[in-house]
Structure formats: C-alpha cells, structure tokens
Structure 1
Amino acid sequence: MRTPAVAFALLIVLGQTTCSFGTNIARGGQVTQSSLYGNAVPERAIDGNHASIWSAGSCTHTQNDHKPWWRLDLLKMYKINTVTITNRKDCCHQRLNGAEIRIGNSLNDNGNANPRCAVISSIGAGTSETFVCNGMEGRYINIVIPGRKEYLTLCEVEVTGQPSGTNIANIARGGQVTQSSLYGNAVPERAIDGNHASMWSAGSCTHTQNDHKPWWRLDLLEIYKINTVTITNRKDCCHQRLDGAEIRIGNSLNDNGNANPRCAVISSIGAGTSETFVCNGMEGRYINIVIPGRKEYLTLCEVEVTGQPSGTKIANIARGGQVTQSSLYGNAVPERAIDGNHASMWSAGSCTHTQNDHKPWWRLDLLEIYKINTVTITNRKDCCHQRLDGAEIRIGNSLNDNGNANPRCAVISSIGAGTSETFVCNGMEGRYINIVIPGRKEYLTLCEVEVTGQPSGTKIANIARGGQVTQSSLYGNAVPERAIDGNHASMWSAGSCTHTQNDHKPWWRLDLLEIYKINTVTITNRKDCCHQRLDGAEIRIGNSLNDNGNANPRCAVISSIGAGTSETFVCNGMEGRYINIVIPGRKEYLTLCEVEVSGTESDDLPEYSCN
C-alpha cells in the first residue's frame, strides 16, 4: 500500500493530479480579475464552495476579454506545491482549454508575465484538476487565457504551499522622503519607519500643514518597476482627508514629482486600516502621494512599496557635457568633476580646484536644454570642506556673467567632508549648470558633480538662421548664405561652404537685425582641404559697422578647428547685432561650412546713425 507521500511523489512525476494535500493557502488571499460579468466577483473562486453550476452563484466570470485573467495575491511569498482548479459543469467547460498558470512576484502585464507553472490542456465539465508547480516561488498566482478573446470562469481555485522564507522587501525603507510642509515634528520619515501605529499620539504618522495640494514624496534612489503601494491611514481622526489622493510614479521632479503618471486614485481608506494599490510594474524613481485640487492636511501613518529594479539606470547627464571654470589651480581641470570618480582626497587627483578667485565658478554645458531634476555634489574630504558653504547652483540658458546670472536652484548651506549632497531643482530648464561662490574670495573645489533630468523638448534656437549675411568677396558661387543654410556638409563638392577670394583680411558678417546677448558661436570647418586657413581667425561682436564690423569687440581667437569638425566658442552674453568672422593680418581665403549662434534678445535697441 502506498503512503500519501509516495503517492504524491508519483503524481509529481506525472505532472498533474486529481487530489491535493495540505492547507489551502488561497483562502487568505486577495483576488482580482480582468473584468466583471454581472456580479461574478473574483472572490467566488476562493470561497471554499466547489459548486460548478452557474445558478449556484459560486463561479467567477469575466467579460469576453482579449487574454482574460484572474489573479490571487497571497500577500507574501510562498513555495507553491499545487494549484487545483474546478471547472464549470453546466456549460462551456472547453473555455479553459489552453489557459496558463503563472507564478511569481511581478505585476508586469498584471502578473501574466511571471514564470509558467502549467498549461491547462483541458479540465472536464464540473471536475477538478490539480497541477504540480514543484515549489515555484511567488506572491501572485495568475490564471490567464493567452492569445484569444474568451470568457474566463473559475468555480474554485485551491493552492498548497509553504512560506518561502523570503520576505517581500518593502523597498520604501531604504529611500529618502520629503513633503510639502511640516506640521509640528511630524517629519516625512515617519511614513517609512516600519511602524504601523495609526494613533496620532503614537508619533508614527506624518502631517503637513493645511496646504493647497499637499504632497509627500519617496525617492527610491534608483528606478524600480513598482508592483504595489500600501498606505496605512490615521485611526483616531480625520481618515477622510485621504479621499481623492493620488499615487504618482515616475522619474520627473516637475511640480515636485506630482506631474508623473498616475498609478491610482484613493477613493477612501478606512480609519486605521491599510489599503494596497496595484501599479502593474510602472517604472519610476519617485513615488508621490498628493491630494490635488483642494487645501488639506496630508497624514500618512505608513507607506510600503514592493517592486524590483527596472534595470534602467538613472542617467548622469553631466557625463556627456563640456565644462569650464573661472581659473585653474595646478592641473585640477574642470573635467575632474564629471569623470565618474567620487574620490574626495586631493591626492587622488579627481577634484577640481580654482585659484583664490573673487566669486569663483564652475560651469557645465549640457549641449542641449534639459529639465533638471537633481544636482548631486561630492565635497573634498581631507581639507577645507567649508569652502563650499554658501555656494549657489544656477541653471539656465544664458551665459551672462559666465552663466552665474541664471536662476538659482539652491544655496548650499554645507556639505560634510567627503560626503555627497543632492539638491532638487524641480524641473528647472537650462543648458548650463553653474556652481558659484558669490560675494567673497575663495577656492572652489568639486570632487564630483552628477545631474539627472530629461530633455525639455525645447531646442536651442540657432538665431543665425534668421539673419542676413555678406562677406568681403565672392569666389565662384560660394555665397555667404551657405554658412547659415542648416547644412553641415563640409566637403567643397557638396556646395554648402562659403568662400572668399584671396583677400587681405577676409571677413564674413552676420546681421541679426536686432541686438542679442550672444552665448555661443559654433563654426564648422572645411574637411577636404585647407582647414588650417581658419587658424588665427577672430570672432567679433557688436553694433558698429566701422571697418565692416571688424572693429567690434572680440569674443574669441580661433587657434584651430579640425578638418570637417565643429567648434563652439563661448561669448558670455556679449551684446551685438553683428557677428563677424575675420582673418586679420594676412592675405587668405575664408571658408565657412556652417555658423550657428545661440543667444537671447537684449533689452537694448539698435542705434542708428542718420549722418
């Protein structure tokens, strides 16, 4: 006579069985399904009633969905031994043919992307079939009919297994939190302290002021696919304050993160109770709980989050930028702050350093406009960390005052020796990020600067395109307009490069038609021949046409531009209507394959002479 254990082992070998052993752990779970037909709620499948006649009212039923599904949440991870399914008797038992049993911890595709335990070939009308899952681990058990439109009906689902010993990690615990304001000492950290106490007197609930659109934000510090967000509400008072709150998830800090995609709207959470909201693998670094549209207090007694790293790293957009600083101490070049090395000892050779300047500064050019979420700064460890006290982070598109006149994101009160501090800039738009110490003489040292954000969708306007151009002479048909035609082709045969005769002091002039503060001038040189002709050329900017505009103030001298390459020259907000490129002091041909200019309109009006 076989023992139950031996019989069960044989059934495992066969892959399925018609009996099950052990406690039915499905009974304590929570269930949902893809849609609802009448009142055939998903709870019917775990009510303990095996009745399989539709009229008995114990079978679930979805609409005629594409890929209908039913999901059981066991609320913690189990090693699943068996899943037993009872099919409908009076009608349509073949609908379950081809259904799959999926088990895992992800809610991607509503849980249907988890590993597969079994494919149901068929279950007889009104019968029960047991499928062996060999200890597969998971919190979620899905039954899904893939690949076709169908009704899904389940008259009972029973599950056996044992806790896996692996807890479902609450990823909120390792995050950083903030909120719109502070009521008393009810700091935002209270919502992730692991304490579910929901009485105000217990000191474990957050609380804002009576804000318009109050919010609380969790920063997970990397991007996750979020499965669930569980919120515990206050018990002793005012639980209805959370009614209408929204859960927002994403990677942007625009509107303090409240503009990210919405996972759920909280209709209500009972006094002192916890409610779990399923976010189906939404990706994000930030999780916000916000009450939109009214003035309210926001109180959270606990917030728990489950999910898994998305595999998508939070890009440090500083790494692709160009940097400069007010001066150079030794060989401590500005590039050291974006080399990816957080070493904070001076001897490691990874920290920048200026001279003892009045108002020293360091500037990052992102090369396009971004909405900036955060700027993280690592300070020097071995000496002088207080030098950064009072420094400012400035973000914008202007190079006036070397970029230091752009809007301010933050003032650095202090950063500990050798530590990193993150400053939230709430989606401020800009191409340039400056760190500047205003108001005193100081050395500026930065051991690393990291920036997160996303392209703003606003292109950096090339204001040259709307101007009028002329040059000292014309070689063939290589007209001056070629340099502002938007075509970077640098081979002469392409017909997109200007060309003068072999003039003494040849020049090319752009008339912007009004006065601009010029940020940058970018020049593309010829590739196939003679790129050295531009060596020593000057960029002149101003409002005068004396000497054809070549007597205006100088922005830069071009030492050299490689064959077929583009070089950007920073003009720091020089004002002018005219931009000249001139080769002084010798006879030469002047060839320009493209000239691009960025800047902003000046408040000054052009001066016109009537002589």
Structure 2
Amino acid sequence: MDPQRADTKKPWWRLDLLDQYTVTSVTMYNRGDGCSERINGAEIRNSLLNNGNSKTRTSVVQNKLGRTRLSGNTAEKMEHHIFYLLGVITVAGFTDASSMKATNLALYGKATQSSLYDNPYAPFGHAYNAIDGNTESHFHLGSCTATEFQQNPWWRVDLLDEYTVTSITIYNTGDCCPERINGAEIRIGNYLVNNGNNNPRAGVISSIPGGQSMTLTFEKGFSGRYVNVIIPGEKRLLALCEVEVYGYLTPDGENVALKGRATQSSLYETGLPSSAIDGNRDGVYNRGSCSHTEKDLSPWWRLDLLKQHKVFTISVATRLEATSERLHGAEIRIGDSLDNYGNNNPRCGVINTAMAGQIFTFDCKGMEGRYINIVIPARNEYLTLCEVEVYGAPLKMKHYIFYLLGAVTVAFTDASLRAKNLALYGKATQSSLVNNTNAAFSHAYNAIDGNTDSNYKHGSCTATETQQNPWWRVDLLGDYTVTSVTIYNRGDCCPEKINGAEIRIGNSLLNNGNNNTRAGVISSIPAGKSSILKLKGISGRYVNVIIPGNNRILTLCEVEVYGYPTPDGQKVTLKGTASQSSLYDRGFPSNAIDGNQDGVYSHGSCSHTEKNLNAWWRLDLLKQHKVFTIRVTNRQELGHRLNGAEIRIGDSLDNNGNNNPRCGVINTKNNVLSFNCNGMQGRYINIVIPGRSEYLTLCEVEVYGVPLI
C-alpha cells in the first residue's frame, strides 16, 4: 500500500455516543508536553454531514494554553477546556430497526483479527478500525484494518450477545488492491472453535470495487454472537474499511409479555388487565388470574411492551368455564399506533373457535410493534383472558447497563447460560505504550478484545515501556463484586515479565487506581498460559494489574473479569410480577409487592388466597438474580396462619416453583421477618404453606439482590 496521504488540511476527531443525547458540556484535555497551541481554533460540531463537520458550531477553542474554562467564567484556572452547550442534540444509534435508521450492531461490539500488518504501516491496521463508524476507504487515514499475508486471515466482531443477523455491509479499501477481498466468507454463530471460523457460512464476497461497499441480506437471518470475515487460502491479506451488522436480538424463548403493562376497555369485578400477564394460565376465573371487561361494544385488552418488538408467536389461554365462546371472533393486532386504542393496527390472527380451557397459538411471522391488542369487534361482549404470552425480541439494542445500572455501555442476560466477562464491556488504559517499532501491537485495548492469542506480533497483547511500576487498568463502568480474574500471559517471549504482578480492585482512581485493595499476586504464569485468581468477592469499578519495581515491562494478552453488580440496597421486588394459587376477595398477588408494608388487610395492601391445600404465592423477577435478603411483612390479624410457610428460590416452575431450593421457614407470627439467603440464585421467589389447607396472606415481600450478568 503506497503512503499516498489524503488531504488533512482540516483534521477532525469524532465520538459516536451511540444514542441521541442533549449535550450540556464537553471537557477537553490538551497536550501538556509541548505544542499546546495546535488546539487553537478547534470547533465543536454535531451531525454526520461531512463526517460531522458541517452541522451547528457550538464553541471554539481559543486559549492556546488550554487552561481556561470557556463559558464566561474568567477567574478559574484549569488544565482543560469545558464547553457549556445549551440544548445541542447529538444524533446516532439505538433507533428502532423499522424507523428512521436501523442500528448497526457492530458499533457496540469488540473486534479482533488473526494478525496485524507487520511493517511501518501497522498502526493503521487495527481490527477496531472496522467498527469505528468511519467508512473512509483510504488505508493511510487510519480507519481500515489489515492482517499480515498469511494462511486463512480472519477478522471477528463479538456482538456481546446473540443476535439474528439480517444483513451485513462490507466496505472495501479504495486506495489499493481491492481484489484482495475476493473470496472472503462471512460466518456467523455462537462458537469460538477455530476462532469462530467454523460457524455457519452466511455468504461469500466475489468482489467489491475499490472504495465501494457490498451488502449481503439474509432473508431468514443467521443467529449468532460472533461475525467473522475470513479469506481461505495461502498468502492472503485481509483488509476491511468498515463492517456494519444489522439484525435483532435472537428470541430466547422468554415470554416478553411479563415485562409489559396491560390495560383494557373496562373492568368487571376483580378481572384486572394485569391478571392476563401474571405468568399463570389458570383458567378458573374466580381464582383471580384472568382479566375481565364489562359487556362493552368492541371490548379490548392491550399490552404495552414498552418498546418496539419483533413478534413471532402469541399464545392465548381461555377461560375454563362454558363462557369461553365469548372469545369467538376476537382479533389479535400488533403495531405502534394508539389510534382507536390500538385496535386499528395490523392483524396477526382471529380466534374462530373457542373451547373451554383452550390455548390458541398464533404465528405472527415477525410482525413489528409495541402494542398487542385483543379486540372483539362490532358486538357487545365480555372479554376475558386467562393468560396472554408473547414471544419475540426487542428491536432496540440491548443495553448492557452496568450499575450503577445507568451508564450506557451495553445487556444483562441470564448467568444460567454462561458467565459474562465484564471486561469486554469496559474501557482499558495503561501507564505507557512501548516506544519502538512494536508500539502498534501493544495498545491497552488488546487485553479486552476477546482474543487470547499469546503471540505478541499478532497484535492482540499489550505492552508498556520499561518503567517504574507499570500498570494496566480496565474500567468496568459500574461497581461490581468481582469473583474471579483470569490473566493470559505472552507465549512467544519473556513469560517471566509477569512475575510479581498485583491485581487491585476498587472504586478509587488515586494513584491511577493502584492504591485500591490488593486482591492477589501473580507469582508466575507459564508462557502462553493463563492464571485464574478466585476471590470471595471484592467490590469495585476498576481492576488494575501493576508490577511494582524499577525497569519493569507489563505485557498482557487478555484479562477476563467475572462477577456481579454490587448490591446497592435497592429492592428488586418492585420490578417483578406476582402470581398466586387463588384469589380471595381483593387480595391480589401484586399487593404484596406494592411497596406498602401496611399489615391491616382491610386497607387493601395485602395479598390473599382462598383456603387451599399447599397455598402459594410467587414472584417472577424476570431474570436470574443473586438473592441476599428477603423480608416478609405478615398480616397484623391472624398472623399465625403463616407459620410453617417456606421461602424457596430457583429457576424451575415444576410444581409452580415450589420445588426450588429453600432459603428459610417462617416459624413465628411476628409482623416483619427477615431471612438471609446467602446469595442463592434464581428467577422465582415462592412462599408456600406445605402439607395443610390454609389461607396465605402476605402484606409485603421485599427482595434484596442483584441481577446476574
């Protein structure tokens, strides 16, 4: 590749916030070792026209020393510029897939590749460049990738969750050698065997003209977490200037209706609309788990999924009594409009026969919408639904909210499948960068790229300069209780350089985080091998690796961090959905998670079943949690009825969840009882009175824990 440089008379830098924000301030840190005047005249702009350089100018840097706060304040000296912006809108990602513009999933992922072009142009060829949002096709402007000439070169993006990929766009180099992309294969799947290159082949690129792009569309979609581009053959070089991936979260078999909100045209007796999404298919109306309207003209029930979904299947459970024929002719409608209460949205299906206790299932073929309506059109009728289950996937990106649960990095999935490496979602930095021709291979990011390749020259390891106390740090972007850290050592040289490295974890950035709690020390790691440090749990946002001493170099080929969000003392109960074995009077199961500890039943804040054998109440937390404490508020009157009740936690719904492991037993009639569950894991919290016929009344259930990653 010839170093023919493009015009850089107007250099620019851009940050994609990955969503639309109202920006109120921007802080810039200037260079301190010289040439500080180079920042003079820099403008802050937003939008993507002319690479973002044509939109509203919000401020200009004027002070060459870089030490004055801009915005009218003149007295305060600073080491950086702060721009106060009033209402500037930055636009980008997390838009619904069917509106305005689909979300490029690759922007939220982590990229790696088989090797890094090993010559003076190595700094231009990093794997990350293909997911930086810049489609510039001139290699020497630093936004393309390049491997070495090798056998079967590959590039991979980890989407950090499983998606159904519907299209991929590849941008080819424009300044040289466009034929090098010829024959490249796209592979998509969930496995990392052979670095992901054994996953199903989604397509082959015959050729792409220089500086142009090619889009591969997959009608049925390919499901996977990893998207690979590989060129089979000897002495091949893979160069990519951008890879865009579009699709939606792969449905995981979860009933998304449980996370929604229900309403209906009217209310008959105790037939609340929420009863149809309580996770209980019981078709006996008087047990309190069915919705019910008055006899209305065109009665309707509506579920708000809270965001647009791609809906594949809807199941409707009917009432067991003979009145089930009332549902005949009911229509299921899906869409985003609330015109006529949502009943004008496109139709998925019609219930043409209605037998008592029947469950109807409709294939909605990926229809898109936020609202699910069931309406009986053009006649006066009661509408009763004993459960509505919706199976699909949200069309917005899944945020991995690292709590803090607040910052935007990105997705909680259940830990029952596989522990999540928290480092993949973080940001890495280090004390220095080795200052020689190998600098391009040594960036801090390499240790959290998901690639454990131990050959330094392949471009997936880090390296500092030889210095005093070199360090590397990953910011997890939230406070986590870390239970293990895995360090991968270099394999091609000098494994002893890692000896004596300390792992430090905490929330402070004093001394760059190196004063945080020492979690462990690495005595040694064999070349190309890894070491796992298991911990009882140390809380912190920052994980540091530091080697104390003079004239030391720190090299890491991968760092994996596992754990769970540090409990913040908040009740997770309020985000769940409650159900119970039956309904007495107006003792709805949701009353026990309404945040009100009032123990007087007549005040309307307690749940209440009929007098059942093995009466039970269940809370669905909607995802697996680590549960530390459960507090139960008993009824002030007749509190003895709760004696012998068991608290069970787990992921099974066998026997309505009452076979899950036991946290504790209620052996007292005290008003408030607290149980230490020692981090038991599960999605469902059950309270059951086993072996006798009894009323079960709960005036509040509080669960303290954290969702598992």
Please, what TM-score do these two structures have when normalized by structure 1?
A: 0.25
- Please identify the structure whose Cα radius of gyration is greater: 1
